[in-house]
């Protein structure tokens, strides 16, 4: 079941023109959100922020705006069936909305953490990194390669080996009593979960900073995690081929601070 161009369709295929730019060039923008309690008004759903993300990219690319009311109707027609909604907008304003379930092992990953792999080759870098476009091949390839090393995430880096983000989310690190996340200036996606979590930490007077994750900075991080709107916060307990100064006790006690942001609003 999905919504496309004003219609709810019960199918697992979609009909597109052979000359469709979305097929030829990945010319779409998208956002993926988790709908809490089947409500677009729930504070953790961040409906307005997801719409703003799409609008920002559409305006930047000079594309046609979708029918926002029709798009919302499409989302509402699916949210009773799926907790995760992916909204895609084509250059001519058509909307394509799909849904999926939460990962079955999400709770386990939130509690036990995952292994990550560092994607060092230039092929894994994202194009138009401040936008979520249909051309997500670099991140996709990085994640597939990570799985070959029995890792569940890939960490993307720049030409100076600075860490940027994961293939599906934003990085968080903790040391010396302060939380850190890579600065938007290094060329990463301005994650919605990242933005709201950063602002919440500031309001709670919990030390948090944006910075550049150089190889030197990374070496003495005590906790590493990543965030996105679907999985919330996932700790990274192991990074393939890299030894870090980490304490398992600190890992889980400090992460409780970040997890409170989500728990307090449920």
Q: Which of 19, 17, 27 is nearest to 91 (CA)?
A: 27
Res 247 pLDDT > 60: no
**3-state class (DSSP) for residue 20:** coil
Q: What is the pLDDT of residue 240?
A: 85
Residue span(s) of the chain under CATH 3.30.470.10 come to 2-100
Q: What is the pLDDT of residue 255?
A: 85
Which residues, listed in sequence order, are joined to residue 264 by a DSSP beta bridge? Answer: none
Give the highest mean pLDDT range of 72-76, 125-129, 242-246: 72-76
Could you write out the three-class secondary structure of 131-185? CCECCCHHHHHHHHHHHHCCCCEEEEECCCCCEEEECCCEEEEEECCEEEEECHH
What superfamily would CATH give domain 106-263? D-amino Acid Aminotransferase, subunit A, domain 2 (3.20.10.10)
Band of pLDDT at residue 243, cut at 50, 70 and 90: low
- Which pLDDT tens digit goes with each residue over 161-213? 999 999 999 999 999 999 999 999 999 999 999 999 999 999 999 999 999 99
Band of pLDDT at residue 57, cut at 50, 70 and 90: very high
Classify the C-alpha dihedral 52-256-230-142 as positive or negative: positive
Q: What is the pLDDT of residue 195?
A: 97
Q: Phi and psi of 61, rounded to 5°? A: -90, -5
Poorest-confidence range of 89-93, 142-146, 218-222? 218-222
CATH topology for 2-100? D-amino Acid Aminotransferase; Chain A, domain 1 (3.30.470)
Res 244 pLDDT > 70: no
Q: What is the C-alpha to C-alpha distance for residues 81 and 1, in angstroms, rounded to an integer? A: 9
225 close to 254: Cβ distance less than 8 angstroms: no
Interacting residues of 168 by C-beta distance below 8 A, sequence separation 6+: 139, 143, 153, 226, 228, 231
Band of pLDDT at residue 252, cut at 50, 70 and 90: low
Q: What is the C-alpha to C-alpha distance for residues 67 and 94, in angstroms, rounded to an integer? A: 8
Res 241 pLDDT > 80: no
Residue span(s) of the chain under CATH 3.20.10.10 come to 106-263
Average pLDDT for 227-234: 97
Instruction: List b or e across 64-93, with b for residues whose CB sees 16 or more CB atoms inside 10 angstroms.
Output: eebeeeebbebbebbbeebbbbbbbbbbeb
Say how far residue 59 (Cα) sits from the centre of its chain: 21
154 close to 143: Cβ distance less than 8 angstroms: yes
**3-state class (DSSP) for residue 123:** helix
Q: What is the C-alpha to C-alpha distance for residues 222 and 210, in angstroms, rounded to an integer? A: 17
């Amino acid at each position: 079941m999905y919504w496309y161009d004003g219609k709810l369709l019960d199918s697992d295929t979609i009909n597109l023109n052979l000359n469709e730019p979305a097929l030829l060039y990945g010319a779409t923008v998208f956002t993926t959100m988790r709908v809490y309690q089947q409500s677009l008004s729930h504070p953790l759903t961040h409906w307005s922020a997801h719409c703003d993300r799409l609008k920002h990219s559409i305006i930047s690319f000079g594309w046609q705006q979708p029918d926002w009311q029709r798009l919302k109707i499409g989302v509402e027609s699916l949210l009773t069936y799926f907790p995760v909604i992916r909204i895609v907008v084509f250059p001519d304003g058509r909307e394509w909305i799909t849904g999926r379930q939460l990962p079955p092992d999400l709770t386990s990953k939130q509690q036990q953490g995952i292994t990550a792999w560092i994607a060092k080759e230039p092929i894994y870098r994202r194009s138009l990194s401040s936008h979520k476009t249909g051309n997500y091949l670099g991140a996709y390839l990085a994640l597939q390669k990570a799985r070959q090393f029995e890792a569940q995430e890939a960490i993307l880096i720049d030409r100076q080996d600075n860490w940027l983000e994961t293939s599906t989310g934003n990085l968080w690190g903790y040391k010396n009593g302060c939380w850190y996340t890579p600065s938007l200036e290094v060329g990463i996606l301005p994650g919605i979960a990242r933005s709201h979590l950063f602002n919440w930490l500031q309001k709670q007077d919990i030390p948090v900073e944006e910075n550049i994750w150089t190889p030197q900075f990374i070496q003495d991080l005590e906790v590493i995690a990543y965030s996105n709107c679907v999985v919330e916060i996932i700790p990274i307990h192991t990074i393939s081929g890299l030894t870090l100064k980490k304490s398992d006790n600190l890992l889980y006690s400090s992460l409780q601070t970040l997890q409170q942001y989500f728990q307090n609003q449920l």
